[in-house]
Amino acid sequence: MSSSEETPSNFIYDIIRDDLKSGKNDGRLMTRFPPEPNGYLHIGHAKSICVNFNARTLKEGAICNLRFDDTNPAAEDVEYVDSIKEDVRWLGFDWGGNIFFASDYFETLYQFAQRLIQDGKAYVDSQSIEDIRKNRGDFYKPGVNSAYRDRSVEENLDLFQRMRAGEFDEGSHVLRAKIDMASPDLNLRDPLMYRIRKTTHHRTGDAWPIYPIYDFAHGLSDAIEGITHSICTLEFQDHRPLYNWFVENTGPGNQPQQIEFARLNLTYTILSKRNLQKLVESKRVGGWDDPRMPTVSGLRRRGYTAASITNFCERIGVTKRDTVVDVGLLEHSIREDLNAKAPRVLAVLRPLRVVIENMPEGEVHEFEAPYHPKDESFGNRIVPLSRVIYIERDDFLEDPPGKFKRLAPGREVRLRYACLITCNEVVKDDAGEIIELRCTWDPESLGGMPADGRKVKGTIHWVSAAHAIPARVNLYDRLFNKENPMSNPDGVDFLDNLNPDSMETLNECLVEPSLSSAKPGDHFQFERTGYFNLDPLAAKGSYQFNRTITLRDTWAKKGS
Ligand code: ATP
Ligand code: MG
């Protein structure tokens, strides 16, 4: 959003406006989007990106950092870093030079940890991880102090430095904050700060045999960067006192204010990187960018526009209350955007051959047709008609019910933009399958209007056999057929709630010749069948289209 547009209102922006008014943080405003590079971004992350980056419109000179919280080398990868950058940029946000990595602070964080040890506020624990977990207690039971809790400062410093030097095996020691094992807040029961991990990091390589725990690194990274408002989701509310404790006791000089909001949940969708990863690993989808995935890259490949996603995020707003948003709202958002932006073209998905008997072979009639019914700026193109055409198989019925307005034996129908044709004969193969219709056209009905004013109700789409381009079309639908795919009656796994009809590939489609100039990613409305885009990842020169969305909501009727 540009700063000239009105900034949306929400309780977070209200807090920021008040802080700016009262001169807090010397009038500075700095936010950040802090992904962990352990998966691709999904639509929930898009919401967080919008909230954080759009906050910049509240104050001239405000900054939003893109910071990778890359403290867990086992799960992280440059592939994820690259995809996250690409997705944020595609959504329309520019971080300028403000890109950072928590791994850049490893040395600073190590110094902070040593300082806590010196102040008697951290110690090396040599219990096993299982014992640490067991001795932490629970909501009803206070924790038990570790036998190593009273190690001297000198011993702690020595052990921690040797952990850093790589002298110890994984699991033999950890560094813990010394807070209070009886605290009613479980996060304050001597939380872990460092563990030994002899894993290569995607940026620091093998320089570090110890890695900071997320809770130690996250809040301090915000503080180091000078973030004024740390906007995050509700699950981090309980961690706030701990983040504050780390900042107060290490003294980076800036105390960010954490504000939590409810994460986005969507019906018929899962939004957790861990579970999305399961879909990828179990090969239920073609990858993180499978067009059925709720990832930013999947939605893009499916044909969602960046505007449809950011408009959706704005519409659902920002609240403190956990809710589940109807996925129909996201689908509405892309229909609305493509209705305005997508040129209309003719494409036949399941072709039925039609021979126009009174049109000589080699004769071609050209009709001018607008690309958009309401917006002249799209211009026109020529659609050619010749003796053999294809129509959609379901636009013909041999024995139609009364309400059927399309083609049937003896009936007349309008070919969109072109003329009227009448069906005279149905040709079948030995098995009784319809293979061709024999029709005649009315040469006086140019543009589809009969010269005598007779009424013809049905209009169907078509392509000329001699001119059409063969194409493959993937018809996508919702990936899950349960409103809440994670609901677990009788031990059903979320993978059992997959919609078996979420993808159908049609290999014998035909599209109008103007599509020869289509570029990967281009959006179209195939008249009467839906919105499609030319698959941005399809092989060069191949015509593979993805159905982004049907023209109307077919799920609203079905119920759940
Ligand atoms: P997931 O739970 O899907 O694995 P995450 O929270 O572990 O996501 P991070 O990379 O840590 O993923 O998230 C980066 C930022 O995006 C965090 O500030 C987080 O609060 C926010 N975020 C993640 N999921 C959502 C969501 N569904 N709605 C809104 N914000 C989200
Ligand atoms: Mg996380």
Active site residue 36: yes
Tell whether 2 is covered by a domain. no
Which ligand sits nearest to residue 68's alpha carbon? 1
Instruction: Confirm if 486 and 515 have CB atoms less than 8 A apart.
Output: no
In the set 273, 411, 482, 547, the catalytic residue is 273
Tell whether 4 is covered by a domain. no
Active site residue 273: yes
Same domain for 492 and 433, yes or no, is no
Q: Measure 45 CA to ligand 1 centroid, in angstroms.
A: 6
Same domain for 256 and 288, yes or no, is no
Same domain for 150 and 204, yes or no, is yes
Task: Tell which of 440, 467, 494 closes a domain.
Answer: 467
Q: Measure 11 CA to ligand 1 centroid, in angstroms.
A: 19
Task: Tell which of 467, 483, 501 closes a domain.
Answer: 467
Which tens digits make up the pLDDT trace of 239-283? 999 999 999 999 878 899 999 999 999 999 999 999 999 999 999
Q: How is residue 517 annotated by DSSP?
A: G
Which ligand sits nearest to residue 35's alpha carbon? 1
Q: What is the CATH number of the domain that holds 78?
A: 3.40.50.620
Q: Domain range holding 354?
A: 346-467
Q: What is the CATH number of the domain that holds 278?
A: 2.40.240.10
Tell whether 165 is covered by a domain. yes
Q: Which residues contact 283 (CB under 8 A, 6 or more apart)?
A: none
Same domain for 476 and 508, yes or no, is yes
Q: Measure 202 CA to ligand 1 centroid, in angstroms.
A: 21
Same domain for 383 and 438, yes or no, is yes
Which tens digits make up the pLDDT trace of 287-313? 999 999 999 999 999 999 999 999 999
Q: Which atom of ligand 1 is nearest to the CA of 236?
A: 20
pLDDT at 3: 42
Tell whether 266 is covered by a domain. no
Pocket test for ligand 1, best of 48, 88, 275, 313 (most atoms within 8 A of CB): 48
Tell whether 5 is covered by a domain. no
Task: Tell which of 467, 497, 516 closes a domain.
Answer: 467
Residue nearest to atom 18 of ligand 1 (CA): 232
Same domain for 160 and 247, yes or no, is yes
Task: Work out the pLDDT band at 559, boundaries 50, 70, 90.
Answer: very low
Same domain for 484 and 434, yes or no, is no
Question: Ligand 1 site: residues with CB under 6 angstroms?
Answer: 34-36, 44-45, 47-48, 232-233, 263-264, 271-274
Same domain for 59 and 208, yes or no, is yes
Residue nearest to atom 1 of ligand 1 (CA): 272
Can you tell me the mean pLDDT for 484-500?
88
Q: For every residue of 300-341, which 3-state class applies, written as one string?
A: HHHCCCHHHHHHHHHHHCCCCCCCCECHHHHHHHHHHHHHHH
Q: Measure 113 CA to ligand 1 centroid, in angstroms.
A: 27
Its pTM stands at 0.94
Which tens digits make up the pLDDT trace of 6-40? 677 899 999 999 999 999 999 999 999 999 999 99
In the set 24, 85, 263, 528, the catalytic residue is 263
Q: Measure 24 CA to ligand 2 centroid, in angstroms.
A: 29
Orientation angle between helical segments 214-225 and 106-118, nearest 10 degrees: 110
- Ranges of H-type helices in 119-152: 129-134
Can you tell me the mean pLDDT for 166-180?
98
Q: Which atom of ligand 1 is nearest to the CA of 233?
A: 20
Q: What is the mean pLDDT of the chain?
A: 95
Tell whether 366 is covered by a domain. yes
Same domain for 164 and 62, yes or no, is yes
Task: Work out the pLDDT band at 5, boundaries 50, 70, 90.
Answer: low
Q: Which residues contact 154 (CB under 8 A, 6 or more apart)?
A: none
Tell whether 1 is covered by a domain. no
Is the pLDDT at 558 greater than 70? The verdict is no
Active site residue 21: no
Same domain for 368 and 425, yes or no, is yes
Which ligand sits nearest to residue 39's alpha carbon? 1
| Structural domain total, the chain | 3
Is the pLDDT at 553 greater than 90? The verdict is no
Q: From CA 41, how far away is CA 83, in angstroms rounded?
A: 8
Same domain for 213 and 328, yes or no, is no
Same domain for 86 and 219, yes or no, is yes
Tell whether 379 is covered by a domain. yes
